[in-house]
Structure 1
Amino acid sequence: MLTRTLTAILGIPLLIFIIQKGGSLLFASLLVLCSVGLLEYCNAVNTDEKINVNPMLEALLGIFLLCLFYFEIQFIVPGLILCFMLIFIHQILSNKVYVLQGIYAFLGLFYVAFLLGHILLFEKLENGTYILWLVFIISFTTDTFAYISGVNFGKHKLCPQISPKKSVEGAVGGVVGSIIATVIYGYFMNKYGYLNFPLFFYFILSLIVSVFSQFGDLTASLIKRTFGVKDYGHIFPGHGGVLDRFDSIIFATPVVYYITYYYILLR
C-alpha cells in the first residue's frame, strides 16, 4: 500500500503537468505509454505457445494510429482498416496458419492504441483539456471508492471467475464516489468559466463512464486470466504495468469523448 501511495504521489503531478501542457508533450507521452502497453499485451498473449504476436509490428502500427489521431483525424478509420489488413498480410507472409494470432494482434492494437488514442482528440474540443480531466477524475475516483467500499462493505462477489476480489458493493461505491467527485469538479469548472455543462450532465456522464471504467478494469483482468498472467508489467511500482494502471482509462476515454462531443454538437 505504501508503494502504491508513493507512486501516486510522484505520478499525479507528472500527469497534471503533461495534460496541462498538452500538445506535442502529450502526444510524445502517449506514444511511449501505448508502445509500452502494446509490448505488455504481446508478452501476455504470447504466453500461449500457439500465439506469437510480433511486438515490433504492434508498436509500429500503434504509433501509426496515434499519428493519425494527432495529425489526420479524418483518416483514423481507414487507418484502422489498413492496420487490420497489414496484420493478416504479415501473418500470411510469415506462413502462420493460426488465425487467432492475427485476431489477437488486431485486438491488442484496437484495445491499446485505438481506444487510448482518443485522448489526443480532446484538444480539438473547446476547453478540451478540462473535459479530458473528467476521464481521469471519474476513473481514479471509481477505482478508489470501489476499493474502499469493497474492503469495508464487500459481501457479494461481482465477477468471481474474472476478478475474485471485486464485489457488488465495491462497484456501487465506486459509481457513487465518482458521481460526487465529478459533480463537485463540474460545479467549480462552471463557476470559473472553464466549462459550461449543467450539473445534471456531469451526474449522468459520471454514472455512465464509471460503469464503463469498471468494465475496462474487468476486461484487462479477463485477458490476464485467459493467459494466466498476474500483472502486465512492473513499470509502476505497486500498480503493475501500463495496462494494469490504465485499464479503466482505456474504456473511459472514448466514452467521455463521444458523449461530450455529441452533447456539444447537438445542444
Structure 2
Amino acid sequence: MTKASDSGAYLLGSTIGRHKMMTTISPGKTWEGFAGAVLLSMLAAAAFIYFAGDRFPQGFTMPVGLGVGAVLGVGAVFGDLIESKLKRVAGAKDSGNYFPGIGGVLDLLDSLLFNAPLMYLFLKYGL
C-alpha cells in the first residue's frame, strides 16, 4: 500500500497537481498528489482484501482495510515530508545518488520507514 501511495501521489501530482502543499519543505508536493496517494493506497488495500482476504487476520474487513489504506496513504506522505525536511536541514537535494532519477536509499524508502511502525501498531493493538 505504501508504494501504491507513492505512485498515486506521483501520478496525480504530476498530471493535475496545481495546489502546492508545503513549499518550504517540498516544493513539488501538491494537494492533488496527496489525494492520489490516499486514493491509490485505499485501492491497493481493497485489492489485497478482495484477492487475499482469507489470509488476513480475523476482523480485517473491507471497511477496516480501506481505513488502514487511508491511514497508510497519509502516513506515506508524512514520511516523505519528514525526509524532505531532514534533507533541507542537512542542505542536501537528495539523500544520495544510488538510484538515478530517484536519489538515495532514504528517498526510496522514506514513506515505508514511516508506515512500517504504523502497520505494526495496527496489527499488534488493532489501532
- Tell me whether the two structures share a fold, i.e. TM-score over 0.5: yes
- How far 1:237 moved relative to its partner? 2.9
The 5-angstrom pairing of residues 160-171 of structure 1 reads 160-171=23-34
The CA RMSD measured in Å over matched residues stands at: 1.4
Aligned length in residues: 125
Q: Which residue is 1:79 aligned to?
A: none
* Superposition TM-score, scaled by structure 2 size: 0.92
**1:194 pairs with one of 33, 38, 55:** 55
* Superposition TM-score, scaled by structure 1 size: 0.45
Unmatched 5+ residue regions in structure 2?
Answer: none
**2:102 pairs with one of 226, 234, 239:** 239
> Contact 2:41 / 2:72 at 8 angstroms: preserved in 1?
no
- How far 1:238 moved relative to its partner? 2.5
Amino acid at match of 2:56: L
Unmatched 5+ residue regions in structure 1?
Answer: 1-137
- How far 1:156 moved relative to its partner? 0.7
Amino acid at match of 1:238: G
Q: Which residue is 1:213 aligned to?
A: 76
- How far 1:235 moved relative to its partner? 2.1
Deviation string for 1:97-138 (max 9, x for gaps)? xxxxxxxxxxxxxxxxxxxxxxxxxxxxxxxxxxxxxxxxx2
Q: Which residue is 1:151 aligned to?
A: 14
Amino acid at match of 2:111: S
Rg bigger for which structure?
A: 1
**2:111 pairs with one of 248, 254, 263:** 248
State the identity as a percent.
Answer: 38
The 5-angstrom pairing of residues 1-267 of structure 1 reads 138-190=1-53, 193-196=54-57, 197-263=60-126
Bigger RCO (CA 8 Å, 6+ sep): 2
Greater per-residue helix proportion: 1
